[in-house]
Amino acid sequence: MNQINFKSAVVLVSGGMDSAVCLAIAKDMGISQINALHLNYAQRTEKKELESFNKLLDFYHIKSKLIVDVSYFAQIGGSSLTDKNIEVPVNQKPGETIPSSYVPFRNANILGIAVAWAETIGADSIFIGANQLDSSGYPDCRQEFYDAYQNVINLGTKPETNIRIVTPLINMSKKDIVLKGHQLGVPFELTWSCYKNSDKACGVCDSCQLRLKGFSEANLIDPIIYNR
């Protein structure tokens, strides 16, 4: 990541652990104006994630926020996260195949919205907590995808607009992310990563397993409560 002095950042905050660490990194870089963007794409866990989003914003004293309804993903279907006819995958080996929790082209859609908002409010950067090592094989979590999208931004916005995509977690493992968050004082207890929608995290879905593996390898205790 280049050390550019950004003045105003749109930060994608899902409510999960990765986006919380990404937000903490943007704050730690001294960016004066943070604008938090949350996407509601009608996934099973939206209520829990929105709750985490709002708690994180309170924690970091962030006032500028936008919550966008992208429930058209449920309309389009094709993913177990939004389509109730497809089971949530359990014990799928990460990286082996594209998991059924894949929402087609999700990150490109998220970036499109982030750029539209950034251009409107004059933000100069978009922070997204994608990471390619533990990304469950999603094709739109790789750095080359973000490089290609950067080119689209450069060509598709006004000449005077200058927006950079920043992916601070892209080459981190879950262990690295946990350690970085711990170092920056991220309130992990406020985050939600589980793909299932219940009071306690399930501990067995892909997302819970990746998270628990990260904490375990970092020799730290995950402060959220698991249903195990």
Closer to a copy of itself by CB, 156 or 223: give it: 156
For residue 95, state whether it binds a copy of itself (rule: CB under 8 A).
no
Query: C-alpha angle 11/76/10, rounded to 5°?
Result: 10
Burial annotation 189-202 (CB, 10 A radius, 16+ → b, else e): ebbbbbbbeeeebb
Minimum separation from the CB atom of position 134 to a copy of itself (A): 18
From the list 50, 68, 86, 133, which residue makes contact with a copy of itself (rule: CB under 8 A)? 68
Closer to a copy of itself by CB, 78 or 203: give it: 78
Q: What are phi and psi of 3, to 5 degrees?
A: -90, 75
From the list 33, 62, 64, 112, which residue makes contact with a copy of itself (rule: CB under 8 A)? 112
Task: Please list the alpha-helical segments (H only) found in the chain.
Answer: 17-28, 46-59, 72-76, 106-121, 143-156, 174-183, 206-217
Closer to a copy of itself by CB, 103 or 178: give it: 103
For residue 113, state whether it binds a copy of itself (rule: CB under 8 A).
yes
For residue 115, state whether it binds a copy of itself (rule: CB under 8 A).
yes
Which tokens sit at 167? 């992916």
Q: Contact at 8 Å (CB) between 152 and 189?
A: no
From the list 105, 173, 187, 220, which residue makes contact with a copy of itself (rule: CB under 8 A)? 105
Classify 35 as helix, strand or coil: strand
For residue 98, state whether it binds a copy of itself (rule: CB under 8 A).
yes
- The answer for residues whose C-beta is within 8 angstroms of residue 160's C-beta and 6 or more apart is none
Lay out the site mask for a copy of itself across 118-157 (x = CB under 8 A, - = otherwise): -xx------------------xx-x-xx--xx-xxx-xxx
* Amino acid at position 148, single letter: A
Positions that interact with a copy of itself (CB under 8 A): 66, 68-73, 75-78, 98, 102-109, 111-113, 115-117, 119-120, 139-140, 142, 144-145, 148-149, 151-153, 155-159
